[in-house]
Amino acid sequence: MKFGGTSVATLPRWQNILELVASRRAEGARVLVVVSALSGITDALKQMCAQEDKGKRIEAAKAIAQRHYDLLDHMQLAVPGTLADRLAELAQLAEDGPSLLGELAWSALVQAHGELMSSALGSAFLTHSGLPTQWVDARDCLSAIALPNQNERTKLLSAMVEAKPDPALNARLAELGEVFITQGFIARESQGRTVLLGRGGSDTSASYFGALLKAQRVEIWTDVAGMFTANPRQVPSARLLQRLDYEEAQEIASTGAKVLHPRCLSPLREPRVPLLIKDTNRPELEGTFIGPEVREHAPSVKAISARKGITLVSMESVGMWQQVGFLADVFANFKQHGLSVDMIGSAETNVTVSLDPTENLLDSDALAALASDLAKVCRVKVIAPCAAITLVGRGMRSMLHTLSTVLAEFGQLRVHMISQSSNNLNLTFVVDESVVDELLPHLHELLITAGALRTDDSALFGPSWQALYGSGEVLPPAASWWRDGRRADLLKLGAEHTPRYVYHLPTVRQQARELKTLAAVDRLHYAVKANTHPAILKALAEEGFGFECVSPGELKAVMAVVPESAPLLFTPNFAPREDYEWALTTRATLSLDSIYQLEHWGEVFRGREVVLRLDLGRGLGHHEKVRTGGSGSKFGLPVEQLDAFLRLADTHGVTVRGLHAHLGSGILDDGHWGEVYGQLASIAERIGSVTFLDIGGGLGVPSHPGEARLDIAALDKVLREVKAAYPHYQLWMEPGRYLVAEAGVLLTRVTQTKGKGNGTIRYLGVDTGMNSLIRPALYEAWHEIVNLSRLDEEATALFQVVGPICESGDVLGTDRRLPEPQEGDVMLVAQAGAYGKVMSSPYNLRDEAEEIILE
């Protein structure tokens, strides 16, 4: 059991340690406790070493001693003899300075005292608390091995140990007792000098011991409940990784997840000792289990990590590239300077490598020496500080297609290097260090949205850090009406007849009321194309919504059910002239979006007031097919044609009363609508006649578990701010999907299953598919799918959920973990209230889904 710096720094933590060790003893295990130095002590010791002034060194040693006295005070313990000896030795080392032992050996010995002291203290506490604990000097058990190309520095400060099972050590300990405490971070080399295992190396000590003793298990107790999909301090929505195999965990650790020292997994592989990561303060939380077996699961990115302090060395050949042995000459220099190369990129005349600070003791001297030697064979450029951002997951190369939005994000940055590891476990981007902190949470969210990080697989991904540790502000999934109160109704409806769409009106109302809290918005229109069911139109009219229609058919459907007083918008696109002529006979406010309409049919609009839909030059949204801005999309009048449009409007006596822009759907960034309002407002200032600005819809609905909801309160704030800057315009919005998506589900029944590829690929067939719900096929949209008949059974196997349509694209969901199904089970496809039924088709002449309303 290894306890890290924060886990050993206070009395309450030591009380937890006592309980944990006692509970393992109660299970009959013998326990070896490996401890770090109290948090901050290794840094303090390092600083002491850097101090040239003897007096200041002695003072520093005293302050360090005081930290230990204070803790003993809390424990109401006298200073034990073992600790007093250590403190005296440290005081002597401070007094002596490096001259006797040499700089590096002295510094290693000084730093080793952190762990020597904490373990002495811990031994006294545990023994005193009734758990007799033997203090073991780790240096007597861990022998550093000499490695080729090690220099003095790496030998003393970043040593390695060969940890083969050692029955003699086991026997020796068995004679001594049942509970032991020893130090992390330190070992001894062949000449008897104390050496260090590198910063954070206590984890690796625990693994060495685990391998030497062939332990049942290595437990790493720290300040977080395991390894997460990203550093949880940086990305609170990061999810707990419940199970990992050695290789993946190793990759996540060595690409930046500080929770495990990068070297701590390799000693465990051969003896197949599993490793568990747990939170000392919250032992009830499950933690991360790392072991040899690979579990079958959907291909998924497992984590995103970042390493700062990366140095790139770019080497330009001076006409020698073709020469045999050039690379050997270049790399000989790295070898000679004891530097380990991380990534490599090469071209005809250039080779660029990265140096990782956790694997190398990089300082400016080391780099300058390297550069000057390299200069003899090539032109050298050192690029620093950089950061490496790494996506980790088994089979990374087969996941590239899921990464398009993530890759797009790098389009706006300077990417110095891209590297994919030859073990197919990682994809790394080297960028400027300064961009990382802001970028990482954003990329993590994009990975989830894009379905690249498959947080829906609950066998793999546990709760988010926020859910485990947060202030309880995590919003519960809004669309759980079908899971909770109405499940029995749905099962009955599904047993009667499928396919069926079921809409829950209270959820529609709840969403409507949430949007009505947007104080800056003067008028909300429901974009009826999402769902034209009359009961939904009526409910939203009752909530005071206006209606946005894109065709005469929609206008007629709305006018048939809503009162005369409800405002109507008609915003067609590439509609024929008759549509406009007809719409002008209704009370709808009309929107134009091209020069053509005024140029050729000007007389139709004479004397009218219109809305002008603009293309602001960029599109946004969850998929290319839902982005409605930019030259690649057919919507809106490009801003550069505005003057021509206004001249034509003048000619025909047409007044532009409103401006409108809608950039796409599925937008979860609250700042977006503020920008649109600001842009439209500044254009409106030029026109003069405008009284309202319609900033569109596109409010995203999170679909993947773990994806953050749009923050309506934040949106409210943004809108109030921009409106305060341009208070003279009315603000209109036109949400569609946001109001109805979560209110609707599609019920369908299991027809059969099929296995392919020796049973590795399993298909689960249901009685409807893309004919009822085309979003997965059209937009690669992700809809949660559950077996409603077996909601309480464990989801065990992965299925491709497919329909009966004669198209390979007829897939409702890929790689879904579900319970073993049976013919006739009722399946539920969630978030199907928007763009479901309205986009369904009679394709293959299969019956269309019925629609049912739940009040």
Q: Which residues contact ligand ASP by CB under 6 A?
A: 4-5, 36-37, 42, 114, 184-185, 199-202
CB 712 within 8 A of CB 517: yes
Compute how many residues bind Mg ion; rule: CB under 5 A.
2
For residue 407, the number of C-alpha atoms closer than 13 Å in the C-beta half-sphere is 9
* Smallest distance, Mg ion to C-beta of residue 196, A: 14
CB 187 within 8 A of CB 111: no
Q: Does 231 bind ligand ADP (CB under 6 A)?
A: yes
* Smallest distance, ligand ASP to C-beta of residue 202, A: 3
Interatomic CA distance for residues 510 and 476, integer angstroms: 14
- Residue of 36, 158, 449, 679 interacting with ligand ADP (CB under 6 A): 36
Q: Does 111 bind ligand ADP (CB under 6 A)?
A: no
- List the single partner that 184 binds among Mg ion, ligand ADP, ligand ASP, none, CB under 5 to 8 Å by kind: ligand ASP
Part of the chain binding ligand ADP (CB under 6 A), chosen from 223-231, 447-455, 635-643, 684-692: 223-231
Q: Helices 54-75 and 11-26, interaxial angle, to 10°? A: 60
- Residue of 64, 159, 160, 227 interacting with ligand ADP (CB under 6 A): 227
Q: Does 200 bind Mg ion (CB under 5 A)?
A: yes
* Smallest distance, ligand ASP to C-beta of residue 257, A: 14
Residues serving a catalytic function are: 806
Give the nearest residue (CB) to ligand ADP: 4
User: By C-beta, is 282 or 657 nearer to ligand ADP?
Assistant: 282
* Smallest distance, ligand ASP to C-beta of residue 16, A: 18
Interatomic CA distance for residues 794 and 788, integer angstroms: 12
Residue ranges in 425-484 that form contacts with Mg ion under rule CB under 5 A: none
- List the single partner that 257 binds among Mg ion, ligand ADP, ligand ASP, none, CB under 5 to 8 Å by kind: ligand ADP
User: Which one, of 257, 250, 203, lies nearest residue 233 by Cα?
Assistant: 257
User: By C-beta, is 262 or 698 nearer to Mg ion?
Assistant: 262
Question: Residue 754, Cβ neighbours under 10 Å: how many?
Answer: 11
Question: Residue 145, Cβ neighbours under 10 Å: how many?
Answer: 14
- List the single partner that 230 binds among ligand ADP, Mg ion, ligand ASP, none, CB under 5 to 8 Å by kind: ligand ADP
User: Which one, of 255, 234, 663, lies nearest residue 466 by Cα?
Assistant: 234
* Smallest distance, ligand ASP to C-beta of residue 521, A: 52
User: By C-beta, is 48 or 224 nearer to ligand ADP?
Assistant: 224
Interatomic CA distance for residues 779 and 764, integer angstroms: 21
Hey, what are 306's tokens?
């970042």
Cα distances (Å, whole numbers) of residue 591 to 608, 635, 694, 801: 11, 12, 11, 41
Interatomic CA distance for residues 626 and 619, integer angstroms: 9
Part of the chain binding Mg ion (CB under 5 A), chosen from 3-11, 342-350, 749-757, 796-804: 3-11
- List the single partner that 114 binds among Mg ion, ligand ADP, ligand ASP, none, CB under 5 to 8 Å by kind: ligand ASP
* Smallest distance, ligand ADP to C-beta of residue 244, A: 11
Sequence-ordered list of residues with C-beta below 8 angstroms from that of 171, at least 6 positions apart, any chain: none
Q: Does 4 bind ligand ADP (CB under 6 A)?
A: yes
Question: Residue 650, Cβ neighbours under 10 Å: how many?
Answer: 12
Hey, what are 670's tokens?
């609250």
Q: Does 228 bind ligand ADP (CB under 6 A)?
A: yes
* Smallest distance, ligand ASP to C-beta of residue 354, A: 23
Question: Residue 186, Cβ neighbours under 10 Å: how many?
Answer: 28
- Residue of 107, 119, 222, 449 interacting with ligand ADP (CB under 6 A): 222
Q: Does 230 bind ligand ADP (CB under 6 A)?
A: yes
Query: Dihedral, CA atoms, 8, 11, 12, 16, nearest 10 degrees?
Result: 50
SS3 at position 667: strand
Interatomic CA distance for residues 459 and 104, integer angstroms: 47
- Residue of 7, 426, 571, 597 interacting with ligand ADP (CB under 6 A): 7
SS3 at position 344: strand
Where on the chain is the footprint of ligand ADP (CB under 6 A)? 4-7, 36, 200, 222-224, 227-228, 230-233, 257-259, 303
